[in-house]
Amino acid sequence: MPDRGGGPTGPRMRVGRPSRRVRTLLMTLGVLAALAMVFVMFSGFWTDWLWYRSVNYSSVFTTTLWTKIGLFAVFGLLMAAAVGVNIWLAHRLRPPLSAMSLEQQSLDRYRMGVAPYKKWVLLAITALVGLIAGASATSQWRTWLMWVNGVSFGQKDPQFQMDVSFFAFDLPWYRFLLGFGFAAAVLSLIAAALTHYLYGGLRITSPGARATAAATGHLSVLLGVFVSLKAVAYWLDRYGLAVKSSDFKATSNWTGLRYVDANAYLPAKTILFCIAIICAVLFFATLWRRTWQLPVIGFGLMVLSAILIGGLYPAIVQKFQVQPNEQAKEAEYIRKNIEATRKAYGIDSVRPTDYSGTGELKASEQQRKDAASAASYRINDPNIVSPTFQQLEQERKYYQFPQTLDVDRYKGQDTVIGLRELNLAGVDKRNWINDHFTYTHGFGAVAAKGTGTAAGTSGAPDFTESGLPSKGSLGDYEQRIYYGEKTSQYSIVGGPQKELDYEEDGGGQVTTSYKGKGGIDLSGPLNRAAYAVALSEPQILYSGAIGEGSKILYNRTPKERVEAVAPWLTIDGDAYPAVVGKRIQWVVDAYTTTNGYPYASRTTLGSTTADSLTDRQRAVVAQQNQVNYIRNSVKATVDAYDGTVTLYEWDDKDPVLKTWKKAFPGTVKAKSEIPAELKSHLRYPQDMFKVQRELLSLYHVTEPDQFYNASDAWQVPHDPTRQTDNQAVPPYYLSMKLPGQSAQQFSLTTTFTPSGRPNLRAFMAVDADANSAEYGKIQLMRVTDDKVDGPEQVQNRLNQYRPVANFVRDLKGADSTIKYGNLLTVPLDKGFLYVEPIYAQGRGSEYPLLSKVAVVYGEKIGFGDSLSDALSQVFGAEGAEPTPPTTPPGDGTTKPPPATGDAALKAAIADAQEAYDAAKAALNKQPVDWVAYGKAQADLEAALQRAAEAQTAASDSKPPAEGD
């Protein structure tokens, strides 16, 4: 019939199918999308390769890459083969379908649906499990490299007499293989069982046999493999007892066997191993017997044995043998743990020496000299004076200093040093060109004496290197800082766009163009496209600011660069700068660690290395957070101008370092290649010291009975200068003389208090000078007097001392802020001398200045405008025979009576008022005149003392009242 709508006649047109042009367009778009995805993945790989090649560590990239590819391929194929073969075998062993039950009829539609796509389903399943297993295996690249390259420790564990390398390098790899085997066995068993069920080899509700003989044999073999792996697991668990952690007495990270492990768990694991082997044989025997009766009985016996022998029996031994006489039973194992722990952390040679702690105040000229020369007291606290550096030496607001400065040595002088790094937040006009092309680097180092302040500056640091460009005692050096702790953004340098070097005082700009060998070339379109994708910045692809000679700089923090070129190292939290060979070099300490040292108790690096000064910038970069072996095996440097990373071997006896050197040959230079000038700036690392002091708080004890009772457990005190966060006091670098030393030695020091008590219990110092013959030697002095004040007690005494309290009160009244500097502890004449700088930050001021110095020795407190003043108050004036505080004035036999009468009292009160007014006037000056303020405080104290004496004398001279 004709179309009633008057439309065209003939064949009906097909609706909904796109035209050829549309299909071609869609196909083209699909191909382009796929290519884009491929290029995105390729760009990440390509930029990583370019970066490693630019720092001359391409071998690290290729070794890591090929190791991951190999593990992915091998274990992915093994898993795919295990699962695929068992699915294929289960399908091959399927029974012929005859009179089908209702159960089989309901499964028939699934078989019919799968039948046309059986091969594709098999390939999809095997590919999926293979990809997952291969991806999981790539994370074990460190474990593989340590196993295949492992070297001997030359030490044997005390239980099994196996070399430590077995536990550190071999056992982790065997455990991974065992875990992979379990996964393959379980997945194969599940896949085979499902296939047998789908094709009738297994029946759940059908009458007759539940499984065919073929299915029974197949699944029994897989169960036998699983039980065999369980037997291997029991055997490896025996060795795992040597590195097992548990809570025991004073430590929550006890590692190694205890009595119940050696006498219950160890024989139980051996028995369970034998039972599992028998059970596995019974499962394999079903290939001939075609029944699961014996294997099921054997498996049940194994489970029951695991409960009784592996669980109940050790609990009985612990309850009835160990607990009634635990100290004696555990003594042998405690001794093994102590010896292993002290070796693993490099503290096995540390022996506490007794030290009185109660010094005698002689108030003699010699003791005054001894006090002055006992240490180079660092009254410029690097943790306090960063804002002062910022205010006085920032020069331009697009520069910044780190929150905590560093301590180094230059020309025998302890020096506080910081680099003037770039701060993009201070740039007035932020845009892509300014952020990445114009403002690209910091400029110059700033250094100050650690031991004094500049004359006439009311407490400002005495700078030895300052100005822009920096000038001073460091001489000529490359001052541009392209790589630093604060430099996290990428920069594009060396091309047509000029970079800002610095602005001159007259307003002119000095520009530069990067000439260093660091960075990746952006001249070619491939590199530009790759970085445009990797950094999600399309302007890199077409910007005219990029041209011939342009390079991109990224991964610019020192710790980030060292961690990238040596991903097997743990990086110390504090990288510090040193001017070496006319270049600024960042020095980075790095550690080799393991979690598999038998019997050595573990520590958690993240918490152990945290203290009151730790922030994200100074946090340790740990490959393993829980470790029980650590060595400062590598000293690394990063050039602040071109980013060159150099790794130097430091501990040439460390077997872990030797293992990694075999895995990555040529990446670490010999210790003999360290330049002499660089070596003079190397020091004992803080994080290593923190780990050792944490362990020594318990493991200074070497006798099992004393360790068990925890009668002499110590703790690291809280930082008394930061009373709000209860964080551990940080260790301090300080040049000082320890008892028995004739000259000052650059050291790293800390203190201990008894567990739960505030008094001083021990003092610990390590020789931190890399040029010293005794570098790394730890001296631990146990305080024998129980009444010596600890840091928190000393701080409380200072806070309650009247001159200090008055000083703080007056400053707070003037709306100023008090900041307490590092409380330094120095052994002196069988006692301890405490020195603390005190800073004041006046109203409206953005930075603190050194105002006072407090000194405490025994019961005597000195509080002066300078260290010399405070020492003189305690020990007497330098160069004169001081008079002891208790010696009467005058002829030494009688004390002249104080001035009495109303006139004397009124004069004293008038002097006090005048001194008080002078102190307020000094505080109101901008900046605050701390010198005048200190003098006024001393006058006020003297006037108040005279007034008190006049009042007391007047009261004593009155006749007693009638009736008294």
The whole-number pLDDT of residue 592 equals 96
- CA angle centred on 940, ends 937 and 946, rounded to 5°: 145
Q: For the chain, give the mean pLDDT.
A: 86
Q: What CA–CA distance (Å, rounded) separates 820 from 802? A: 17
Residue of 52 and 503 predicted with greater confidence = 52
Residue of 741 and 932 predicted with greater confidence = 741
Mean pLDDT computed over 325-331: 91
Residue of 958 and 902 predicted with greater confidence = 902
The whole-number pLDDT of residue 336 equals 95
| pLDDT at residue 889 greater than cutoff 60 | no
Q: What CA–CA distance (Å, rounded) separates 174 from 185? A: 16
Residue 43 near residue 534, CB atoms below 8 Å: yes
Mean pLDDT computed over 581-610: 93
Q: What CA–CA distance (Å, rounded) separates 3 from 367? A: 123
Mean pLDDT computed over 244-264: 86
| pLDDT at residue 268 greater than cutoff 90 | yes
Question: Alpha carbon of 339 to those of 336, 496, 596, 600, 711: distances in Å?
Answer: 5, 63, 15, 8, 19
| pLDDT at residue 619 greater than cutoff 90 | no
Q: What CA–CA distance (Å, rounded) separates 36 from 34? A: 5
The whole-number pLDDT of residue 280 equals 92
Residue of 863 and 619 predicted with greater confidence = 863
Q: What CA–CA distance (Å, rounded) separates 554 from 51? A: 9
The helix or strand, by DSSP H or E, that contains position 840, with its residue range, turns out to be: strand 831-841
Q: What CA–CA distance (Å, rounded) separates 685 from 587? A: 10
The whole-number pLDDT of residue 814 equals 74
The whole-number pLDDT of residue 954 equals 54
Neighbouring C-beta atoms of residue 451, cutoff 10 Å: 18
* β-pair partners for 752: 762
Residue 637 φ then ψ, to 5°: -130, 150
Quote helix, strand, coil % in the chain, to nearest 5.
45, 20, 35
Residue of 584 and 812 predicted with greater confidence = 584
Nearest alpha-carbon partner for 851 in 940, 927, 941 = 927
Strand 421-422 vs strand 471-472: parallel, antiparallel, or unpaired? unpaired
Q: Which pLDDT tens digit goes with each residue over 409-464?
A: 998 889 999 999 999 999 989 999 999 999 999 999 999 999 988 876 778 899 99
Q: What CA–CA distance (Å, rounded) separates 485 from 558? A: 6
| pLDDT at residue 960 greater than cutoff 50 | no
| Alpha helices, DSSP H, located in 664-747 | 676-679, 686-699, 704-709
DSSP annotation string for 184-231:
HHHHHHHHHHHHHHHTTSB-SSSSS-SB-HHHHHHHHHHHHHHHHHHH
- Residue 248: pLDDT band (50, 70, 90) is confident
Mean pLDDT computed over 840-868: 88
Place of tokens 């209860």: 726
| pLDDT at residue 9 greater than cutoff 50 | no
The whole-number pLDDT of residue 359 equals 84
What is the number of residues in the chain? 964
* β-pair partners for 733: 748
Q: Is 462 helix (H, G, I), strand (E, B) or coil?
A: strand
| pLDDT at residue 713 greater than cutoff 60 | yes
Residue of 70 and 963 predicted with greater confidence = 70
- Residue 106: pLDDT band (50, 70, 90) is low
Mean pLDDT computed over 592-612: 91
In the chain, what's the furthest Cα-to-Cα distance?
A: 146
Q: What CA–CA distance (Å, rounded) separates 736 from 371? A: 11
Neighbouring C-beta atoms of residue 303, cutoff 10 Å: 12
- CA angle centred on 765, ends 771 and 648, rounded to 5°: 35
Q: Which pLDDT tens digit goes with each residue over 638-680?
A: 999 999 999 999 999 999 999 999 999 999 999 999 999 999 9
Q: Which pLDDT tens digit goes with each residue over 625-648?
A: 899 999 999 999 999 999 999 999
The whole-number pLDDT of residue 962 equals 42
The whole-number pLDDT of residue 10 equals 44
Percent of the chain with pLDDT over 90: 60
DSSP annotation string for 845-903:
-SS-EEEEEEEEETTEEEEESSHHHHHHHHH--TTS-PPPTTS-STTSS--PPPP-SHH
Q: Which pLDDT tens digit goes with each residue over 68-105?
A: 999 999 999 999 999 999 999 988 888 876 545 655 65
Residue 408 φ then ψ, to 5°: -140, -175
- Residue 944: pLDDT band (50, 70, 90) is confident
Which tokens sit at 399?
């520069």
- Residue 22: pLDDT band (50, 70, 90) is confident
| pLDDT at residue 186 greater than cutoff 90 | yes
- Residue 898: pLDDT band (50, 70, 90) is very low
The pTM of the full predicted model, rounded to 2 decimals, is 0.85
Strand 778-783 vs strand 583-594: parallel, antiparallel, or unpaired? unpaired
- Residue 250: pLDDT band (50, 70, 90) is low
Mean pLDDT computed over 786-815: 88
Residue 858 near residue 359, CB atoms below 8 Å: yes
Strand 421-422 vs strand 413-419: parallel, antiparallel, or unpaired? unpaired
Q: Which amino acid is at 220?
A: S
Q: Which pLDDT tens digit goes with each residue over 427-440?
A: 989 999 999 999 99
Place of tokens 């400065």: 405
Q: Which pLDDT tens digit goes with each residue over 197-220?
A: 888 777 776 555 577 888 888 999
Nearest alpha-carbon partner for 527 in 47, 40, 49 = 47
DSSP annotation string for 580-593:
ETTEEEEEEEEEEE
- Residue 807: pLDDT band (50, 70, 90) is confident
- Residue 8: pLDDT band (50, 70, 90) is very low
- Residue 964: pLDDT band (50, 70, 90) is very low
